[in-house]
Amino acid sequence: MVSSIFRAALLMLLSLTPLAGHTQANIEIDTPAIASIKRSMQQRHSQLEPYYSGGAIGFTRDGLIVMRDANAVPLAARQSVNGLIAAENQDRNALYREIARANSHPEWEADIRSTFGQRWIELARGGWWYQGADGGWVKK
């Protein structure tokens, strides 16, 4: 269920209108590398989802995730959640880089990241946390 929601969200995200300022950027571009990163992120999502809902992990404006409140994670799990966050961010960074590269414009990475940053927040479910424009945390 969670995975299918995520898939739908990812699909919506990847079929968004072209990037502002780069009318030719295609962020729904699909290469084996992008498909593999998406698969890896989908598989991890079910592990991350309870921490999004519980407020432990929040979405940053630059398209990554961060430990927002470690108190919401059982003590013994905090280290492994750190590992999940690091792996997810590695995938997200690779996704932005790969989409830019697949568009033959590696220099668009920053714009693609920023677009994804906004869209992840828009697609976040109610109760999840994200970083507002001033850097403070906002509960959706």
What residues make contact with other proteins under the rule CB under 8 A? 31-34, 36-37, 40, 67, 69-73, 75-76, 78-79, 82-83, 86-87, 90-91, 94, 97-98, 101
Q: What is the CA radius of gyration of the chain?
A: 15
Q: Which is nearer to other proteins, 20 or 83 (CB)?
A: 83
Minimum CB distance to other proteins, residue 134 (Å) = 19
Minimum CB distance to other proteins, residue 51 (Å) = 12
Dihedral (CA of 110, 111, 116, 121) sign:
positive
Minimum CB distance to other proteins, residue 128 (Å) = 18
Q: In the block, which residue shows the tokens 């929040």? A: 58
Phi then psi dihedrals of residue 94, to 5 deg: -65, -35
- Distance, in Å, from the CA atom of 14 to the CA atom of 9, rounded to the nearest integer, reads 9
Minimum CB distance to other proteins, residue 32 (Å) = 4
Q: Which is nearer to other proteins, 98 or 111 (CB)?
A: 98
CB 138 within 8 A of CB 130: yes
